Chains A and B, each alone.
Chain A
Amino acid sequence: MEAIFALAVGIMAGAGIYLILRPRTFQVIIGLSLLAYAVNLFIFAMGRLRHGAPPVIDPRLGSDPALYTDPLPQALVLTAIVIGFATTALFLVVLLASRGLNGTDHVDGREPEDE
């Protein structure tokens, strides 16, 4: 499980970074989203990967902490998802405004001269 998880995080982060370095705004926003997914999974993994362990106290299981997974990274990841979603949506608006005002989807607001 760890290897697949690590690969998933790594591939998404790599693809995200590649896209962020591309010159078109749409590529940048997709790159940012992919990187955000990778980061969210990474935060989740920081609570250690456990299978079938609940994050909240279950009366039937008792109060032994070893039976539970760490709830904090899950709370963190929820916050991070919400914030990431909101800021990405905001970036999308800026992207559209830039496209409308500058007439191009290049990140610098104008086409490079050699093209």
Chain B
Amino acid sequence: MSDWLQHLPILPILVPMLTGTLLLLSSDSRHAPRIALSLLAVLFQLTVALALLAQADGQLASTWPTSIGVYALGGWAAPFGIVLVVDRLAAAMLLLTATLGLAALVYSIARWEKAGVHYLPLFQFLLMGLNGTFLTGDLFNLFVFFEVMLAASYGLALHGSGGPRVRAGLHYVAVNLLASLFFLIAAALIYGVTGTLNLAELPQRVAALNLGDRQLFDVAAAILGVVFLVKAGAWPLNFWLPAAYGNTVPPVGAIFAILTKVGVYALLRIGVLLQESGVAPAPFGGTWLFYCGLITMAIGTLGVLAAQKLDRLAAFLVVVSSGTLLTAFGFTGTLLTGPAIYYLISSVLGSGAFFMLVEMAERNRQQGADLLAISFEAFGMEKRHDSEHPDEMVGVAIPAAMAFLGLSFVSCVLLLTGLPPFSGFVGKFALLGASLASLPHAPLLHVGLFIAGLLLSGLAGLIALSRLGIRVFWDMQRQSPHLQWLEAGPVAALLVVCLWLALLPEAAMAYCAAASQSLYDIGAYIHSVVPQPPPPEIPQ
């Protein structure tokens, strides 16, 4: 049994890879077995992620000496071989990926999977890339998994095809290819200067550098930081994001909600490693990141207010949540990290549910209805149904589908703008509390700006969502859309998870705090990955 458990960390990568390959090889005509296989694979990943989370949290017996699991690929020890590292944060991200993946997959079975070819294999490869990114302990391996994830995401972004989608996809692919090239430059430069690509070995090598090499390393780290900021959708590197996310098919938009958080995760993971071992270069933390995040938040908020379509609004909400996270990580002190992880989980689940909900809500509406409605509003050309035919409006039965959509929409609004009783409120509340608690150390200006940004972005989201919500749901001329259980179920499930996170926040909050604590305990991380001091450098 323990032999089997020992190989647990590799499964989140192997299972989607093998499933994806099998799906590629099987013919499209075997529809039911393909879907069953995809679902089974994602369910299995969910189970593995749960087991890893329990192991990292010490609830399940593991063979790991500490709370950090290290899996040596190929059996080579750390400085020479490539390792996978599971700690609390990585396990939480794995669980988040699997949960969101399951919801998006179930949703797409209903109709979207058939909108193009190779949806199911690409979906598995995307999950493989995501899981690999969260698990890897090696810089170049991080690049490889980023590429796996991006290559799959290029395919998924174009799923369903069509002019606007391909146009947005073109920008998305070009920007990310460029970012990948920068990633390669940074990784190569870091290897050239320090002689290692292992994340755990990096800090001590950096500390031993002389001044000239140190400056080169700082350049490399800055380039690396810029790459992660592109992925995270930070201003001014995020102009591709709203169009690309807003134009995808809904389940893809839902799973893309976690893609920006990959950038945030990498920034946090590597930033903390560098920060705790000395001075971290600018993009990895401090005042610079704080203001970058704050501007991202502001731009996202303006975008939310300006958006005239719900899917574009959802994309800007993703930008806002990225900005909030970057601001929190740029904050002085480490108090905000725990709540920020909680906020990350809640916002990813919320945005995922929202992307799927938007499409259901928009069904049966005429094209461009939002645009018309807003121009009517702006020019005071409101049509007055109610005064002309008051009697017809009384006692109209609400169809079940509309009731479900309305309720889910209100829940999503509450969740994404941070109002009770959903987890968005708990997350924002904890962030506000933590920022106030770090007051003596953090400048008052930062605390004030952070609180203002957080509250204003929530308010703007509420205004924009209510305005568009009124237009979408109080539309007299539309018929009630037909929903399938497969479509309504995932949205409801994600919302229930968020509600559960909010109603019983102690366990989740405690876990996030522990995750943040073990993240900052880089001594333990380095010690678990590289147990013995590395051999002395070979003179060149």
Interface residues of A (CB under 8 A from B): 20, 25, 28, 32, 35-36, 39-40, 42-43, 45-48, 65-66, 72-73, 76, 79-80, 83-84, 86-88, 90-91, 94-95, 97-98, 101-102, 107-109
Contacts and interface: CB of A to CB of B under 8 A. Distances in A.
Interface in B174-225: 174, 177-178, 180-181, 184-185, 187-189, 191-192, 197
B174 A91 contact: yes
A73 B227 CA distance: 20
A36 B154 CA distance: 19
Interface string B128-168: 00000000000010001001001100110010011110110
Interface in B346-381: none
Q: Which 5 A-B pairs have the closest CB atoms?
A: A46-B192, A109-B167, A43-B188, A46-B188, A101-B163
Given A76-B188, A94-B166, A108-B167, 10 more contacts: A39-B185, A39-B188, A45-B192, A48-B540, A72-B191, A83-B180, A88-B177, A91-B177, A98-B170, A109-B167
Given A39-B184, A101-B161, A102-B163, A87 B177 contact: yes
B121 interface: no
A99 B301 CA distance: 34
A28 B174 contact: yes
A101 B166 contact: yes
A94 B161 contact: no
A4 B48 CA distance: 52
A42 B188 contact: yes
B191 A46 contact: yes
Contact of A39 (B154, B164, B181, B540): B181
A76 to B, nearest CB: 6
Contact of B147 (A72, A76, A83): A83
B167 A35 contact: no
A76 B140 contact: yes
A90 B178 CA distance: 14
A65 B195 CA distance: 14
B507 interface: no
B449 to A, nearest CB: 34
B185 A42 contact: yes
13 contacts: A28-B174, A32-B174, A32-B181, A43-B188, A66-B539, A79-B144, A84-B181, A94-B158, A94-B169, A94-B173, A97-B161, A102-B167, A109-B170
A73 B191 CA distance: 8
B397 interface: no
A25 B185 contact: no
Which size bracket describes the interface of B in this complex? 20 to 34
Nearest to B181: A39
A21 B505 CA distance: 48
Given A43-B188, A76-B188, A94 B170 contact: yes
B170 A95 contact: yes
Contacts of A101: 161-163, 166-167
Contact of B154 (A20, A28, A90, A98): A90
Nearest to B151: A87
Interface of B: 140, 144, 147, 150-151, 154-155, 158, 161-164, 166-167, 169-171, 173-174, 177-178, 180-181, 184-185, 187-189, 191-192, 197, 538-540
Contacts, number: 97
Nearest to B162: A101
Contacts of B171: 107
A80 B184 contact: yes
Contacts of A88: 177
B121 to A, nearest CB: 15
A107 B174 contact: yes
Contact of B163 (A65, A87, A107, A109): A109
A108 B174 CA distance: 12
B167 A98 contact: yes
Contacts of B180: 83-84, 87
Contacts of A84: 180-181
Contacts of A90: 151, 154-155, 173
Contacts of A28: 174
B181 A36 contact: yes
Contacts of B185: 39, 42
A91 B173 contact: yes
A69 B311 CA distance: 53
A73 B188 contact: yes
Contacts of B174: 20, 28, 32, 91, 107
Given A42-B188, A73-B188, A101-B163, A32 B177 contact: yes
A84 B173 CA distance: 12
Contacts of A108: 167
- Give the most central of B150, B158, B178: most A CB within 10 Å: B178
B116 to A, nearest CB: 12
Given A42-B188, A46-B191, A83-B144, A35 B181 contact: yes
A7 B167 CA distance: 35
A58 to B, nearest CB: 17
Contacts of B155: 90
A2 B151 CA distance: 34
A42 B186 CA distance: 10
A52 to B, nearest CB: 16
A87 B147 contact: yes
Nearest to B193: A46
B177 A76 contact: no
Contact of A98 (B166, B189, B539, B540): B166
B166 A102 contact: yes
Nearest to B144: A79
Contacts of A86: 151
Nearest to A43: B188
B299 to A, nearest CB: 20
A28 B178 CA distance: 10
